[in-house]
Structure 1
């Protein structure tokens, strides 16, 4: 008996140790599975229908351009404010168009993206040239058009349901983006004083309304 008892105890300890290792392995596997499920859940939340996915390059680009527009100094010189905000607004469109060229697959959308880049780069240079020689002209009274256009664009951006398809998302985001430019340009026509800027504003309204229609027609063909 003196020999058997230690042997029995040794066997018992060995079994407990094995069970402990199995439990540890099981717990580790459960922890890994749980972490994976949590990651999948978080990804689903970020990419789900109706969720604004801040990891989306197009959305990040849009939000970045709006932040830069909000940082423009507002001092009552409507023409200077309009030109400065449109420079940032156009740069945002160029950034989104470059994303479409890099990651999109639809030839029509890529062609529109290239057209936007070419046109709006040229307009940015015109705005900069006008600002360089512009003499401050404070326009008295309330002129909320620019900020109202920004607010509307911000609301429409947050309401846009991203699909994960770069071409579709580009078309939808550019529609929202163009709507902001159109509204700001209408403000320039009403309250601006610089002829060259008013002429550019009219051109922006006409061209971007035309592009919005093209985006609508293309989106109508997509399932």
Structure 2
């Protein structure tokens, strides 16, 4: 029905249309991929601070205050893991002791020091410093070794009670030493207020534990 020339023309038009469609489709895919990639990158970059809540992004945050010195930072960095171990010790008490007075004391230690750990983190962030680490530095005064903690965990009853108080007294004395250094050398008012609070509260608990040990 069609002449040879007409058939050839139709084939040429069809091929050109197919090539044009393929070209448009390819450009659309590339553009879509580029847009998706850009969006993903932007989302990843923007989501990092929110995901980490201070751990990774804290080091990149600008300080919001300048009223501190190296002694303040050292005190806060050291007191955080020191508190973490005290809280760990306090959590051992309910399942190993039948001494209600000791159970109450351990709960008081946990309730006091857990919020102070958050306060320490907030202060360091305001100084533009990284969030503190919970890893123990066994050179810090009053920190218990792994062997000491393992021995404590293996005990229960009066033997546990006695060792726990002996260890916590040493632990508290170490915290007071660190706090007194901060009071003497630090400049930040909030850090020094925390240090004074630690001295007052933990000396009171030392006195209580010494009395309890004398009665046992």
TM (normalized to structure 2)? 0.56
Distance in 1 of aligned mates of 2:143 and 2:124? 25
Q: CA deviation at 1:115?
A: 0.5
User: 1:200/1:151 Cα in 2 relative to 1: closer, same or farther (>3 Å)?
Assistant: closer
The equivalences for 1:157-172 within 5 A come to: 164=155, 165-172=159-166
User: 1:94/1:189 Cα in 2 relative to 1: closer, same or farther (>3 Å)?
Assistant: same
User: 1:154/1:121 Cα in 2 relative to 1: closer, same or farther (>3 Å)?
Assistant: closer
The equivalences for 1:79-118 within 5 A come to: 79-118=72-111
Flag as ranges the 4+ runs of structure 1 deviating above 3 A. Answer: 151-155, 161-164
The answer for the alignment partner of 1:188 in structure 2 is 182
Q: CA deviation at 1:150?
A: 2.4
Q: CA deviation at 1:135?
A: 4.7
Distance in 2 of aligned mates of 1:119 and 1:151? 20
What secondary structure is seen at the aligned counterpart in 2 of 1:109? helix
Distance in 2 of aligned mates of 1:169 and 1:90? 18
User: 1:117/1:186 Cα in 2 relative to 1: closer, same or farther (>3 Å)?
Assistant: same
Distance in 2 of aligned mates of 1:209 and 1:77? 26
Q: CA deviation at 1:167?
A: 1.0
Q: CA deviation at 1:197?
A: 0.4
Q: CA deviation at 1:129?
A: 0.6
Distance in 2 of aligned mates of 1:197 and 1:108? 31
Unaligned runs of 5+ in 1: 1-75, 137-146
Q: Is the 8 A contact 2:182 2:195 kept in 1?
A: yes
Q: Is the 8 A contact 1:83 1:131 kept in 2?
A: yes
The answer for the alignment partner of 2:198 in structure 1 is 204
Distance in 1 of aligned mates of 2:71 and 2:144? 21
Distance in 1 of aligned mates of 2:113 and 2:101? 18
Q: Does 1:220 align with 2:201?
A: no
TM (normalized to structure 1)? 0.54
User: 1:126/1:152 Cα in 2 relative to 1: closer, same or farther (>3 Å)?
Assistant: closer
User: 1:103/1:154 Cα in 2 relative to 1: closer, same or farther (>3 Å)?
Assistant: closer
Q: Does 1:150 align with 2:144?
A: no
Q: Tell me the number of residue pairs that the alignment of Structure 1 and Structure 2 aligns.
A: 134
Q: Is the 8 A contact 1:97 1:113 kept in 2?
A: yes
Q: Which one scores higher on RCO, CA 8 angstroms, separation ≥ 6? A: 2
Distance in 2 of aligned mates of 1:153 and 1:111? 22
Distance in 2 of aligned mates of 1:154 and 1:191? 25
Q: CA deviation at 1:154?
A: 6.6
The answer for the alignment partner of 2:122 in structure 1 is 129
Q: Is the 8 A contact 2:71 2:182 kept in 1?
A: yes
